Amino acid sequence: MSTDSSLRIVQYGLGPIGQATARTVLEKSDAMTLVGAIDIDPDKAGRDVADVIGDDVPPAGVAISDDADAVLATQHPDVVLHTTTSFLDGVTDQLVQCARADAHVVSSTEELSFPYERAPEASNRLDRVAQEEGVVIVGTGVNPGYAMDTLPLTATGVCTDVQAVHVERVVNASERREPLQAKVGAGITTEAFEEKKAGGTFGHIGLRESLWMLADGLGWPLDAVEEELQPVHADAPVDTGFRQVQPGEVAGIHHSATGRIDGQPKLTLDLKMYVGADDSYDAVTVEGEPPIDLRFRGGIFGDTATVGMLVNTVPLAAKAQPGLRTMADLPVPRAFATKPVMEAAH
Amino acid sequence: MSTDSSLRIVQYGLGPIGQATARTVLEKSDAMTLVGAIDIDPDKAGRDVADVIGDDVPPAGVAISDDADAVLATQHPDVVLHTTTSFLDGVTDQLVQCARADAHVVSSTEELSFPYERAPEASNRLDRVAQEEGVVIVGTGVNPGYAMDTLPLTATGVCTDVQAVHVERVVNASERREPLQAKVGAGITTEAFEEKKAGGTFGHIGLRESLWMLADGLGWPLDAVEEELQPVHADAPVDTGFRQVQPGEVAGIHHSATGRIDGQPKLTLDLKMYVGADDSYDAVTVEGEPPIDLRFRGGIFGDTATVGMLVNTVPLAAKAQPGLRTMADLPVPRAFATKPVMEAAH
């Protein structure tokens, strides 16, 4: 671990999210220093990380390497920003590799946001290694990580009793980057939607993790968890600039999860992501004492918010108790190294 | 510290807030056990705590004592719920007394919610004693403690940059208990308002603490903090059931605080509490990336929410790192020992 106040960061994975987090690390140069970058893509290896991120970024003096062990061993990062894939199966070894290099890990892997139910063995292994090395491993992002778990949990913080929590997130995918429009199936047929759905990895990843985190935070013993995925159809033509969608074609997804106790729907997460939505918003309704009716008007803009959560979790993870952690274990999230801080430092 | 899963609680102070927290502890009997109650009021000492709380509460088997040392020494609480006064001057010795008895303290003392600026010496003493004893001391409530500090901080958690944070809280005091209506001056003349204001302890207590906590959480070095307190006048007759207010009389307070950097208003807290308000709401606006527009429709009902925050902080404090802490140091708040948990246990 470095002893100066600037955190040494390695970026592990330079897809769209990793490029955005690396860009933000470079922008917050008073608080963080990008000391390494890892990606297995042969088109990226060897190039300066800034060159991959964008034309507007000055050279960073950090070459992308496909040899993760070498980068971790030579650069001694305080924290690894890990953004490779969504699924635990593919990343557990990578997370262990980072922890063994004595680095905290903040990861965008959706299944890591609350891994205990889906992958108890991997969770035990990650927790054991993290504790042995004295580091924190945590998965975060806007969803899972905030909008449908940390935020509704925080909304219940004022309640003397809670009977049910309902979370609703509507994302107008027209305002989002093209990969998200592709991810929700904008412009495909209903038949193609059903085929993708049958494939098993379509839909939003992490909805169950949010439900589990919320239930765990409240200490609620769910006796059933149900998930449902349906297409939202366009009822008028939509042109997003990236994609054109005709009436009757798929505009996106309606993905929901319900947690039941004694048959009653105590936790409901309802997510609609589709092009041509009138409005984006996030809403949390708590049936409790007092009742809570919370709304983010205009929604939480996910492309930026995912990056915000990852980068803002860096200093919180670096100070937390070692082990495998979730956002429910860390101090309340807050923006890190914003411009008013950096301007005051000069 | 007890080793079973039920937390041993002593209630220190049995005014309106303390009666409400003690009532909630008694209701959550699967998770907490009320083992002692302290109040110096001779009308309360010796009576069963349930007798003071209300006719609907079955006897608790806990007699109220005016001898705090004796209660703490004999009952070995895990956590003291401390609800005596708003000001640090009056309570620092009480907090030390609890910590020396090896008990965590969750306190409603407004000035304790972020004590470092107003009372650095008392803060140092409390932190030292808490660390020596291995306990946590924390001040919380709905405001300060949540609505104008923890919540807006959490709202910035998704932001890659923040330029300013504006918090607005409007409370229709007609819906609140009579002491709050009295506290905001409902029904007094403008002259009486100005006299009370000149006395120095009128207005909302803890607004500066919220501003300081928010600035500290963001790492923002404020170079000026301003506070303003003005009356809100009734423009129509108001009858709250407790008080009648005529047009032109004071309906309540408009209390605001501004934190500046380089002359710019970077943090603004704007609180209106008055009878006859059309609507209650809490709103947080973050000028940042992404921008945030968050609103609690109908507001956060403070009489209940204060009790919720105090009781829900008990298990978080009991697991946090020892020392003087604020809500920004603890894991995100969440409801504790709600009915779905307790029903499942039977």
Instruction: Report CA torsion sign: B35, B38, B43, B46.
Output: positive
pLDDT value at residue A2 = 39
Verify whether the Cβ–Cβ distance B331 to A330 is below 8 Å. yes
Q: What is the dihedral of CA A42, A302, A28, A331, to 10 degrees?
A: -120
Residue A290 pLDDT greater than 80, yes or no: yes
**Percent above pLDDT 90 for chain A:** 93
A288 near A156, Cβ under 8 Å? yes
pLDDT value at residue A20 = 97
Between positions 268 and 307 of B, the ones with CB within 8 A of A are 288-298, 300-301, 304-305, 307
Number of inter-chain CB pairs under 8 A, A vs B: 210
When pLDDT is averaged across residues A279-294 and rounded to a whole number, the result is: 97
Q: Is residue A2 part of a domain?
A: no
| Interface probe, candidates A338, A339, A343, chain B, greatest B C-beta count within 10 A | A338
Q: Going by DSSP bridges, is the β-strand pair B292-297/A292-297 parallel, antiparallel, or unpaired? A: antiparallel
Would you place residue B346 in the very low, low, confident or very high pLDDT band (cuts 50, 70, 90)?
low
pLDDT value at residue B339 = 85
pLDDT value at residue A3 = 40
A232 lies in the same domain as A131: no
pLDDT value at residue B237 = 96
B293 lies in the same domain as B155: yes
How is B291-346 classified by DSSP, letter by letter? -EEEEEET---HHHHHHHHHHHHHHHHHHSPSEEE-TTTSBPP---S-HHHHHHT-
Verify whether the Cβ–Cβ distance B150 to A289 is below 8 Å. no
Which range (A123-132, A178-187, B3-12, B42-51) has the least confidence? Answer: B3-12
Residue B80 pLDDT greater than 50, yes or no: yes
| Interface probe, candidates A161, A177, A327, chain B, greatest B C-beta count within 10 A | A161
Residue B88 pLDDT greater than 70, yes or no: yes
Residue A16 pLDDT greater than 60, yes or no: yes
Tell me whether residue B338 is exposed, middle or buried, using C-beta atoms within 10 angstroms of its C-beta: 0 to 12, 13 to 18, 19 or more. buried
CATH code, domain carrying B80: 3.40.50.720
Angle at B151 between CA B149 and CA B152, to 5 degrees: 70
A288 lies in the same domain as A177: yes
- Of B108, B102, B107, B91, whose CA–CA distance to B129 is shortest? B102
Tell me whether residue B158 is exposed, middle or buried, using C-beta atoms within 10 angstroms of its C-beta: 0 to 12, 13 to 18, 19 or more. buried
Would you place residue B39 in the very low, low, confident or very high pLDDT band (cuts 50, 70, 90)?
very high
Nearest-Cα distance to chain B for A313, in Å, is: 8
A301 near B183, Cβ under 8 Å? no
Q: Is residue A50 part of a domain?
A: yes
Q: How far is CA B166 from CA A151, A161, B111, B169, B330, in A?
A: 19, 29, 21, 10, 23
Tokens of B228: 């303003």
Residues of B in contact with A113 (CB under 8 A): none
A240 lies in the same domain as A327: no
* Cβ of residue A329 closer than 8 Å to a chain B Cβ: yes
HEC sequence for A168-197: EEEEEHHHCCHHHHHHCCCCCCHHHHHHHH
B291 lies in the same domain as B167: yes
Residue range B162-210, pLDDT digits in tens: 999 999 999 999 998 888 899 999 999 999 999 999 988 889 999 999 9
B251 lies in the same domain as B266: yes
B167 lies in the same domain as B240: yes
Q: Terminal CA-to-CA distance of chain B, rounded, Å?
A: 26
Residue A58 pLDDT greater than 60, yes or no: yes
Residues of B in contact with A261 (CB under 8 A): 340, 344
Nearest-Cα distance to chain A for B282, in Å, is: 9
Q: Going by DSSP bridges, is the β-strand pair B79-82/B104-107 parallel, antiparallel, or unpaired? A: parallel
Q: Is residue A1 part of a domain?
A: no
Residue of B nearest to A332 (CA): B332
Residue A32: how many CB atoms within 10 A of its CB? 23
Between positions 168 and 227 of A, the ones with CB within 8 A of B are 217-221
Q: Is residue B40 part of a domain?
A: yes
Q: What is the ipTM of this complex?
A: 0.96
Instruction: Report CA torsion sign: A63, A69, A74, A75.
Output: positive
Q: Is residue A128 part of a domain?
A: yes
Output the average pLDDT for chain A: 95
How is A77-107 classified by DSSP, letter by letter? -SEEEE-S-S-HHHHHHHHHHHHHTT-EEEE
A51 near A45, Cβ under 8 Å? no
Give the nearest partner residue to B154 out of A291, A332, A336, using CB atoms: A332
- Of A323, A345, A334, A305, whose CA–CA distance to A108 is shortest? A305
Would you place residue A200 in the very low, low, confident or very high pLDDT band (cuts 50, 70, 90)?
confident
B44 lies in the same domain as B86: yes
Between positions 242 and 271 of A, the ones with CB within 8 A of B are 261-262, 266
* Cβ of residue B142 closer than 8 Å to a chain A Cβ: yes
pLDDT value at residue A80 = 98
H or E segment to which residue A166 belongs: strand A161-172
Contacts of A314 (CB under 8 A, 6+ apart): A7, A9, A32, A79, A81, A104, A106, A336
Of A340 and B294, the structure prediction assigns the larger pLDDT to: B294
Q: How many CA atoms lie within 13 A of B18 on its CB side?
A: 27
A57 lies in the same domain as A15: yes
Tokens of B166: 């504006």
Number of domains in chain B: 2
| Domain limits for position A316 | 7-141+304-344
Q: Is residue B1 part of a domain?
A: no
pLDDT value at residue B200 = 82
Which range (B98-102, B108-112, B336-340) has the least confidence? Answer: B336-340
Q: How many CA atoms lie within 13 A of A303 on its CB side?
A: 13
d(CA A226, CA A228): 7
Q: Is residue A107 part of a domain?
A: yes
Amino acid at B156: T
Residues of A in contact with B305 (CB under 8 A): 158-159, 290
Residues of B in contact with A328 (CB under 8 A): 331-332, 334
A230 lies in the same domain as A256: yes
Give the nearest partner residue to B160 out of A219, A308, A329, using CB atoms: A308
Output the average pLDDT for chain B: 95
Residue A17 pLDDT greater than 90, yes or no: yes
Residue range A163-181, pLDDT digits in tens: 999 999 999 999 988 888 9
When pLDDT is averaged across residues A34-40 and rounded to a whole number, the result is: 98
A121 lies in the same domain as A251: no
Contacts of B274 (CB under 8 A, 6+ apart): B171, B172, B173, B184, B186, B232, B234, B251, B252, B253, B254
Residue A344 pLDDT greater than 70, yes or no: no
When pLDDT is averaged across residues A117-121 and rounded to a whole number, the result is: 97
**Percent above pLDDT 70 for chain A:** 98
CATH code, domain carrying B238: 3.30.360
Residues of A in contact with B265 (CB under 8 A): none
Verify whether the Cβ–Cβ distance B160 to A304 is below 8 Å. yes
- For A331, which DSSP code? B
A273 lies in the same domain as A313: no
Q: What share of chain B is helix, strand, coil (3-state, %, to 5)?
A: 35, 30, 40
How much is the CA Rg of chain B, to the nearest whole Å?
20
Q: Is residue B2 part of a domain?
A: no
pLDDT value at residue B344 = 67
Verify whether the Cβ–Cβ distance A305 to B158 is below 8 Å. yes
Residue B93 pLDDT greater than 50, yes or no: yes
When pLDDT is averaged across residues A204-208 and rounded to a whole number, the result is: 95
pLDDT value at residue A227 = 96
pLDDT value at residue A1 = 37
